[in-house]
Amino acid sequence: MKTNVSKAIGLFFRQQEFNWRSVKDYLLIIIGGFIQALGMNLFLVPANLVSGGISGAAQLLHHLFGWPIGLIVILGNLPLFIVGWRYLGGPKFALRTILAIISFSIFVDLLMYLLPVSGLTKDPVLNTLFGGILLGLGLGIVYLGRGTSGGTDILGRILNRKLGISIAMAYMLTDSLVVLLAGFVFGWEKALYGLIMIYVSGVVAEVASEGTKVVRTAMIITNKGDLVAKSILDELERGVTIIPAKGAYTQEGRNLLYCAVTISDVIRLKTIVHDVDPLAFMVIGQATEVMGEGFKPFAEG
């Protein structure tokens, strides 16, 4: 029996990628856990604002029975950890999630003895905003480390990966129930502030993990595709893809140009297209991330 357990443990650790990228990820997860614990102890716990999920349930139990928040977080994560193992990457998910849960749990219980019990302010709005910002920032940093913070965040990540729901929306869906339950303990006014805090933290988590550099994409239908493409290449120094297309109504063949530009290039792009072909048809859309030459380099994960 001991031999089988030893083999299983050995296999688990051999499957991990202990390289510099992994070390960076683990440091990010630890830092993210610390920032979340800081927000919890400075703003949420003193103001009786529930963060949602397992940590929110732990806050309620701490308030009612005095049980340590960190310990409850570890125990409450066990069943969700099994679900995450199945859907979020097995051993790689496991090590990062265990690290995130343990880091947050240790920091939140430790900082409770080091930080003022009354927090920094009694203003509920300030506690809501700054608590949400710190919680979301820490969560986003954990995401950058390719981890999860455990709890219902695991379910949120599954929703994000399987259904394409944004992190902010998934975070809202999975955590709102606990906040509503907190209304019976702390009052409905605190529950409403808690819902605002969850939304703020979700938005901040998304910005921290995915960035704020919104890029525009353009599809241009023109009879002068070669000339328009050359002007974009020369004047904007952006790549262009020429795609053969045919109008459904006229049945005429035209070129469809596709390119990605920064927001600051949009006006120049419009001018270039107008000057070369005033009869062109152009659709400008929005992309949250563009990777490749001239933009963000490809990165693992």
Whether residue 141 is predicted with pLDDT greater than 50 in this model: the reply is: yes
114 and 152 assigned to the same domain? yes
Of the three residues 177, 210, 243, the one that is the final residue of a domain is 210
Residue 93 Cα distances to 13, 75, 227, angstroms: 12, 18, 50
**157 and 283 both lie in a single domain:** no
> Does residue 14 share a domain with residue 119?
yes
Q: Distance (Å, rounded) from C-alpha 174 to C-alpha 178?
A: 9
Residue with tokens 């107008």: 274
Residues 198 and 80 both lie in one domain:
yes
> What domain count does the chain have?
2
Domain assignment present for 252: yes
Specify if 38 maps to a domain: yes
Query: What pLDDT does 250 receive?
Result: 82
Q: Cα separation of 232 and 218, whole Å?
A: 11
Q: What's the confidence (pLDDT) of residue 285? A: 86
- Give the pLDDT score at 1: 54
Q: Give yes or no for residue 8 having a pLDDT over 60.
A: no
For 157, the domain range is 2-210
Q: Chain-centre distance of CA 153, in angstroms?
A: 10
Contact between 149 and 100 under an 8 Å Cβ cutoff? The reply is yes
Annotate 57-115 with DSSP letters as a single string: HHHHHHHHH---HHHHHHHHHHHHHHHHHHHTTHHHHHHHHHHHHHHHHHHHHHHHHHS
Examine the domain organization and report whether 52 and 13 are in the same domain. yes
**Section 85-101 average pLDDT:** 74
Domain boundary among 153, 180, 210: 210
